[in-house]
């Protein structure tokens, strides 16, 4: 997913790229689930004008299955990704030996403290990433990292996309158990248990992006 912040944002750089993996388990005998995936129904490769905190941005989804397809690694990338995964594991940048599962170390943003972060994000950019599940209640492992070394992100497991709207009103609720959230991080992994089917990750960045493009890698794995 590519996001371009328009002129009313204070950030020097206006570009954010989200690379999202959402791995989940589909109940094959559930008659309420449509197992036939229609490529024409995909909502991607079209610019959509969005707004948050009275500031606009353009969002381009390169691919989004709307929880109709289970994630599988692309065959042409799998060999390269496996080698990179092994190198990162040796370097300590990756904590999982399984090349199909990414677990990142817990790395704080040391450019400024958490109180300043909480002030910064009040007028920042936020995005909601839904989980995919056929269960009413489930548990998810998740990991997130950014290549932007100038600032930190906040990440929260929240009950639904409504919390994104609540964020715009300067108040939102999240799961408060340990492992369900991280504040002022540059890399983070957690496990959030007993989350509802409409839940997802709320990821927030301050409006203070400086490098040319900020890349954010997000992984969601249903237990």
Q: Whole-prediction pTM value?
A: 0.85
> What's the confidence (pLDDT) of residue 36?
36
- Which tokens is 51 given? 């707004």
Joined tokens for residue 173: 């609720």
Tokens of residue 126, six digits: 């936020």
* Euclidean distance between CA atoms 161 and 4, whole angstroms: 21
pLDDT < 50 regions, the chain? 29-31, 33-42
Query: Alpha-carbon distance 56 to 86, whole Å?
Result: 40
| 75: helix, strand or coil | helix
Task: Please give the Cα distance from 109 to 179 (Å, whole number).
Answer: 18
Secondary structure letter of residue 219 according to DSSP: E
Q: Write down the pLDDT at residue 87.
A: 82
Confidence (pLDDT) at 84: 77
Could you tell me which residues come within 8 angstroms of residue 167 by beta carbon, excluding any fewer than 6 positions away?
52, 126, 202, 204
Domains of the chain, by residue range, sit at 2-218
Q: Which class for 161: exposed (0-12), middle (13-18), buried (19 or more C-beta within 10 A)?
A: middle
Q: What is residue 79's predicted lDDT score, i.e. its pLDDT?
A: 65
124-168: per-residue pLDDT in tens?
Answer: 999 999 998 989 999 999 999 999 999 999 999 999 999 999 998
Question: Would you state the pLDDT for residue 39?
Answer: 36
pLDDT value at residue 42: 47
pLDDT score recorded for residue 151:
95
């Amino acid at each position: 997913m590519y996001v371009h912040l328009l002129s009313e944002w204070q950030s020097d750089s206006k570009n954010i790229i989200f690379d999202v993996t959402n791995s989940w388990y589909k109940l094959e005998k559930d008659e309420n689930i449509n197992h036939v995936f229609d490529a024409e129904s995909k909502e991607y490769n079209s610019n959509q004008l969005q707004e948050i905190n009275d500031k606009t941005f353009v969002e381009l989804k390169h691919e989004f299955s709307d929880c109709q397809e289970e994630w599988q690694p692309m065959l042409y990338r799998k060999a390269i990704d496996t080698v990179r995964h092994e190198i990162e594991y040796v370097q300590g940048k990756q904590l999982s030996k399984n090349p199909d599962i990414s677990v990142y170390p817990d790395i704080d943003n040391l450019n400024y403290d958490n109180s300043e972060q909480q002030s910064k994000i009040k007028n920042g950019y936020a995005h909601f990433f839904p989980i995919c599940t056929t269960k009413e209640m489930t548990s998810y492992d998740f990991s997130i990292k950014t290549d932007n070394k100038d600032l930190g992100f906040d990440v929260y497991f929240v009950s639904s996309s409504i919390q994104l709207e609540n964020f715009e009103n300067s108040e939102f609720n999240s799961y408060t158990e340990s492992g369900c959230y991280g504040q002022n991080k540059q890399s983070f992994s957690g496990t959030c248990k007993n989350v509802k089917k409409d839940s997802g990750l709320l990821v927030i960045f301050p409006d203070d992006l400086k490098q040319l493009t900020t890349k954010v890698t997000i992984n969601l794995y249903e237990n």
